[in-house]
Amino acid sequence: MDDGKIIGKTTPEWMPVNVMEEIVIRQVKKAIAEMGGCGCDICVSDAAALALNEIPPRYVTTQKGALLESIDSTNYENSTEILVSVTKAVMKVMSNPRH
């Protein structure tokens, strides 16, 4: 069993991360603010989940807790596919929030 130790030293935990999650959450928060919607955790999470189900994932490996500085998020934040998916998701959540 791999316990993460090499010759008495603990190695940092590496994990796969879908960078689209962070990008979509940022875009959802921005869209909600621009559209005058509710920015509570439930609405943000619901809209993000709806949008992420429409967008292909983009996984990278990173150290647990590390910022994804190596990814140029501006390449994705202006993607038409992401903006359309986020807008549709926010509109759907705004029309029928769970609270």
Does some domain include residue 88?
yes
Residue 5 lies in a domain: no
d(CA 32, CA 28): 6
Residue 62 within a domain: yes
Tokens of 65: 């807790």
In a domain, 6, yes or no: no
Range(s) of the domain holding residue 62: 12-95
pLDDT band for position 85 (cuts 50, 70, 90) = very high
Lookup: tokens for 82 = 């992401």
Residue 40 lies in a domain: yes
pLDDT, tens digit, 9 for 90 and up, residues 1-53: 555 555 555 567 888 989 899 999 999 999 999 999 999 999 999 999 999 99
Q: How many domains does the chain have?
A: 1
